[in-house]
Chains A and B, each alone.
Chain A
Amino acid sequence: MNFWDKMLNIDRRWIFLAIGVVTIIPFLIGIGMPITTTTEVEDIFDFVNELGPENAIFVAFDFAPGTQAECMPMAVGVVRHAFHNDVPVFMTAYFPLSHGMMMAGFDYVTNPSIDGYYQVVEFAEWAHLREAGITTKAELVTEWENAGNVLPDNAANWVFEGRDYALLGYAPLFHLVILGMTSSIANQYPEDANGNALIEMPMLNEHKSLREVDLALTTAGSSACMSWITYAREKIGTPIAFGVTAVMATDYYPYIQSGQIIGQMGGLRGAAEYEVLMVENDVTESTGKAFRGMDVQSADHLLIILLIIMGNIAYFAGGAHKRHQMKGRG
């Protein structure tokens, strides 16, 4: 066994160790290399940025915990962006486990320990204002603060359950639920995940079905996202945007070119681009986890390219390719 053969047969745990080290070090150094944005992500950002309180969007958490590292920053980014512009957000989940992801994502946006969070006002807490007929965001905030409620210093704004957001959650055979929502959202979800009746929600009265919704963003780690195109876009023309894992992202370029989706965030890079756009447009003050992860992504990609080059050098220089060819002939 020559040197090159020994190299090719190296214990793979050394490669594992190299990946581990190269992943940890850039985090500790913290370089913050700039990221340029692409039209695929800019189109989604611009679309959401044009919306206001009279519009509504769906953010679908269609991923399981396994792919949350990629999908969660996308969903969180768009929810934050919508909240910043007072756009009502319906949140759904395709799988039982994605229901947990939806709750975790919402918690991340509304967690007081994170600066720039959105302070939740639960549905029951502002029942008296609803009964008094106050349902527009601006009036609600004024009345709520006049009642002595003070927005914490590190909070970005109030969000009223039923006015700014509705946590719809999971339902079985979700593709048929999407189809059903093209007629009526309340028929599919008599209650939200917190047990509130949907028909009492002001945002539902203004947006009764998917026909009255301006965008559905699906963040997915599987082909679940296709259901939104098939059952919402093709049935009633709802604009759809994708936030998908990198593994799947290349598969959906045909849908961007065909105009069936308005844009796509592909993997951590896509999420990082959205974070950059939010900072550039004063939606948030700083970038998030996806952007911080991109330095590490650079280092790991370089290491993997190096491994490919080294593997090929060892394979050809050591003569392994000739032995394989001879074996093939024999």
Chain B
Amino acid sequence: MKRTVPLMIVMVGGILMMIQYFIPHQYSQVVFDNYTEWAPIVGAFALLLGVGSLTRVHSHRIKRKAPNWPYSWAVLIPLFGMPFLALIWPESLWGGSDSPSVFHFLFMNIQVPIQSTMFSLLAFYIASAAFRAFRAKSALATVLLLSAVIVMLAQVPIGEIFGPWLQNTGLWILRYPNLAAKRAIMLGVGFGILATNLKIIFGVERNWLGGAGE
């Protein structure tokens, strides 16, 4: 029940859905339609796992007064506050999820700017890395460096002052050698995904069972 049944579900489900693809019959279509209707509902509940884990980690930090524990309130309060504001708090008092509402305000004016700015920090770090780590130490490194510089210049308007050859060279690198390299990598990744799929479906790979008891 604990290991065999889940492994059987994976195998039967996997084989059934694979066969379904090759049989364009109305019964097969019924299976397909019901499955695509059900799966997002099952998937929606997976969010509970994330919420449960976050709550557990941060409530433990608060209880144990771990270093920086007061910040855990900054996770827990919005974690439960956001759904409360969107779904329970009355709309007459700025509840609900549409604009204007407190829920919408917090998302647009705290979540969006913080996340966007965090990602934009990478601009500073990549500049620093370009200065400290990007070295023409070997012929191959020099090729990488030259390719990067040509593409960087070709992608911006100022690159056009060097003449059309620069943009054309940049595009040529993207459309041919870059494409060849990426296709080779992608084929490797594609075969890897397919092999892993088969290993999981046939129960060779079982790490996903985790440590929830034998």
Q: What mask results when residues 33 to 70 of chain B are scored 1 for a CB within 8 Å of chain A, else 0?
A: 10111011101101100000000000000000000000
Q: How far is the CB of A307 from chain B (nearest CB, A)?
A: 4
Contact A250-B178, Cβ < 8 Å, known A16-B127, A19-B124: yes
Cβ of A172 and Cβ of B44 under 8 Å apart?
A: yes
> What residue in chain B is nearest A321 (Cβ atoms)?
B137
Q: Does A135 contact B (CB under 8 A)?
A: no
* B interface SS class: helix
State how many residues of chain A have any CB contact under 8 Å with chain B: 63
Q: Does B199 contact A (CB under 8 A)?
A: no
> What residue in chain B is nearest A315 (Cβ atoms)?
B135
Cβ of A176 and Cβ of B36 under 8 Å apart?
A: yes
Interfacial chain A residues near B165, Cβ < 8 Å: none
Q: Does B118 contact A (CB under 8 A)?
A: yes
Interfacial chain B residues near A138, Cβ < 8 Å: none
Cβ of A173 and Cβ of B127 under 8 Å apart?
A: no
Cβ of A298 and Cβ of B158 under 8 Å apart?
A: yes
Q: Does A97 contact B (CB under 8 A)?
A: yes
In chain B, residues 147-174, which have Cβ atoms closer than 8 Å to a Cβ of chain A?
Answer: 149, 152-153, 155-160, 167, 171, 174
A194, A253, A269, A295: the one within 8 Å of B179 (CB): A253
In chain A, residues 249-291, which have Cβ atoms closer than 8 Å to a Cβ of chain B?
Answer: 250-254, 257, 267, 269
* Interchain CA distance A133-B21 in the complex, whole Å: 39
Q: How far is the CB of A232 from chain B (nearest CB, A)?
A: 13
Q: What mask results when residues 100 to 137 of chain B are scored 1 for a CB within 8 Å of chain A, else 0?
A: 00000001100110011011100110111011111111
Q: Does A303 contact B (CB under 8 A)?
A: yes
Interfacial chain A residues near B36, Cβ < 8 Å: 176-177, 179-180, 183, 187-188
Q: Does B196 contact A (CB under 8 A)?
A: no
* Interchain CA distance A308-B134 in the complex, whole Å: 6
A65, A267, A311, A312: the one within 8 Å of B112 (CB): A65
* Interchain CA distance A18-B66 in the complex, whole Å: 38
Contact A15-B112, Cβ < 8 Å, known A183-B32, A305-B152: no
Contact A301-B40, Cβ < 8 Å, known A16-B124, A65-B115: no
* Interchain CA distance A41-B167 in the complex, whole Å: 15
Contact A35-B157, Cβ < 8 Å, known A15-B127, A187-B37, A304-B127: yes
19 A-B contact pairs sorted by A residue (CB < 8 Å)? A15-B127, A34-B157, A36-B167, A64-B115, A65-B111, A65-B112, A100-B107, A104-B108, A172-B47, A173-B39, A177-B36, A187-B36, A194-B98, A267-B155, A304-B130, A307-B127, A311-B130, A312-B134, A321-B137
- Would you list the 7 A-B pairs with minimal beta carbon distance, nearest first? A180-B36, A33-B157, A298-B158, A172-B43, A66-B119, A173-B43, A298-B156
B residues sitting closer than 8 Å to A (CB atoms) are: 29, 32-33, 35-37, 39-41, 43-44, 46-47, 98-99, 107-108, 111-112, 115-116, 118-120, 123-124, 126-128, 130-137, 145, 149, 152-153, 155-160, 167, 171, 174-175, 178-179, 182-183, 186
